[in-house]
């Protein structure tokens, strides 16, 4: 992949560890990425420059060109082997996002750059159509918008996710979606058509029910109560929908586990899951800085409890451990989840169909007409 229109060090905050809240943003700074040969730091030169307000941080959008749009994986702890990410970077600004380090591949910071310098695949639908038309393609569910939310604010204007859904619907291809955006309601029509053929599953991600906490933790995502409304609207439309409590943050949000599951079940969720907070690469420092800025009295407790689940480290990337953690506290979370899941009576999501898939019309041979 080649990202067009991407410069390395022209961001007004590049290399600067601000460590204080930026209105409407999740990260509190823009640290250098792990691939940079040089690091930068702010130095007081006696002119008061460190106290001066920075220029407003505006979102910029660039075209991301690629030869293919379906990405394949062999991870044993995710329930899919292929995915499509229409966007790189995410304006939701969730400080904990495990995808932040991917911006380093573009020469950008996983901090404020990740949520303000965005890239989109303008020809994603055309690429998808071409890949589905290949004679050696074998149908299996595609996970749409896994690294970054397919329904982030930029989608309202660009509609890349909608174009992808239209192709999948036309071809009878199964798809799964995870989002924390109410914008998915815009596509109820195509999602309903997919659901009628057992071709779609949707999971709504809810981290906390506390509005003020959500405002700083995931500043440009839909409010928690709005996500519950979205879940209800999807369920009422006959679309199989569940709730994903992700990430579950020790001390900060883990006490809400049962309350979130109960509220989601009441709204129509048929299934539930959870993922323990993940802090790969640069996300560790970004999250620590966020804690010091927004939750200073709980910062040490949060990190200590998380390390209890990660073998004494901030993060454990091993398959089988990275999603749920290990140790006494992680086991307690798992037991609480299983009990709530059982007591609430989640019925599960219907299996996705793969036997109605048809290659794009223009790709079929003339013999298929007879």
DSSP string, 31-62: PPPTT-SS-------SSSGGGSPPPP---EEE
pLDDT band at 57 (very low <50, low <70, confident <90, very high): confident
What are the C-alpha distances in Å from 59 to residues 4, 62, 196? Answer: 16, 10, 38
pLDDT tens-digit series, residues 126-170: 999 999 999 999 999 999 999 999 999 999 999 999 999 999 999
Pairing type for strands 87-88 and 117-120 reads antiparallel
CA distance 239 to 193: 9
Q: Does residue 50 register a pLDDT over 50?
A: yes
Tokens 């307000």 belong to residue: 53
Amino acid 44: pLDDT: 62
Tokens 């899941």 belong to residue: 341
Positions of E strands within the chain: 2-3, 60-65, 71-72, 82-84, 87-88, 117-120, 142-144, 175-179, 200-205, 241-248, 272-276
Count, in order, helices (H) and strands (E) of the chain: 11, 11
* Overall average pLDDT of the 58-78 stretch: 91
pLDDT band at 23 (very low <50, low <70, confident <90, very high): confident
Starting at the edge strand found earlier in the chain, the sheet holding 200-205 runs: 71-72, 82-84, 142-144, 175-179, 200-205, 241-248, 272-276
CATH topology classification for 2-42+57-344: TIM Barrel (3.20.20)
Closest to 109 in 3D by CA, of 290, 314, 282: 282
* Overall average pLDDT of the 35-54 stretch: 61
Length of the chain: 370
Amino acid 370: pLDDT: 47
User: Domain extents for the chain?
Assistant: 2-42+57-344
* Overall average pLDDT of the 59-83 stretch: 92
CB of 274 within 8 A of CB of 246?
yes
């Amino acid at each position: 992949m080649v990202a067009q229109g991407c410069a390395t060090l022209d961001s007004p905050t590049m290399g600067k560890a601000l460590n204080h809240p930026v209105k409407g943003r999740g990260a509190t700074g823009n640290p250098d990425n792990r691939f940079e040969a040089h690091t930068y730091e702010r130095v007081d030169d006696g002119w008061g420059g460190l106290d001066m307000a920075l220029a407003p941080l505006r979102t910029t959008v660039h075209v991301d060109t690629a030869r293919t749009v379906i990405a394949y994986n062999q991870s044993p702890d995710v329930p899919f082997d292929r995915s499509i990410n229409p966007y790189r970077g995410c304006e939701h600004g969730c400080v904990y996002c495990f995808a932040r380090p991917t911006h380093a591949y573009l020469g950008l910071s996983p901090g404020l750059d990740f949520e303000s310098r965005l890239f989109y695949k303008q020809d994603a639908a055309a690429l998808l159509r071409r890949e589905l038309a290949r004679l050696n393609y074998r149908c299996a569910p595609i996970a749409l918008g896994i690294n970054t939310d397919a329904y982030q604010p930029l989608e309202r204007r660009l509609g890349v996710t909608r174009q992808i859904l239209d192709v999948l619907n036309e071809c009878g291809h199964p798809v799964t979606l995870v989002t924390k955006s109410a914008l998915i309601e815009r596509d109820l029509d195509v999602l309903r058509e997919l659901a009628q053929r057992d071709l779609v599953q949707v999971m709504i991600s809810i981290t906390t029910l506390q509005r003020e906490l959500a405002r700083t933790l995931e500043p440009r995502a839909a409010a928690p109560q709005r996500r519950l409304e979205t879940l209800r609207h999807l369920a009422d439309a006959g679309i199989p929908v569940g709730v994903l409590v992700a990430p579950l943050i020790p001390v900060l949000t883990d006490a809400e586990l049962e309350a979130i599951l109960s509220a989601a079940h009441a709204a129509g969720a048929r299934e539930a899951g959870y993922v323990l907070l993940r802090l790969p690469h640069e996300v560790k420092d970004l999250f620590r800085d966020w804690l010091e800025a927004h939750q200073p009295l709980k910062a040490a407790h949060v990190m200590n409890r998380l390390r209890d689940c990660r073998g004494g480290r901030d993060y454990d990337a091993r398959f089988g451990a990275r999603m749920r953690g290990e140790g006494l506290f992680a086991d307690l979370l798992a037991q609480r989840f299983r009990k709530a899941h059982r007591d609430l009576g989640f019925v599960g999501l219907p299996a996705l169909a793969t036997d109605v898939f048809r290659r794009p019309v223009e790709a079929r041979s003339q013999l298929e007409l007879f």
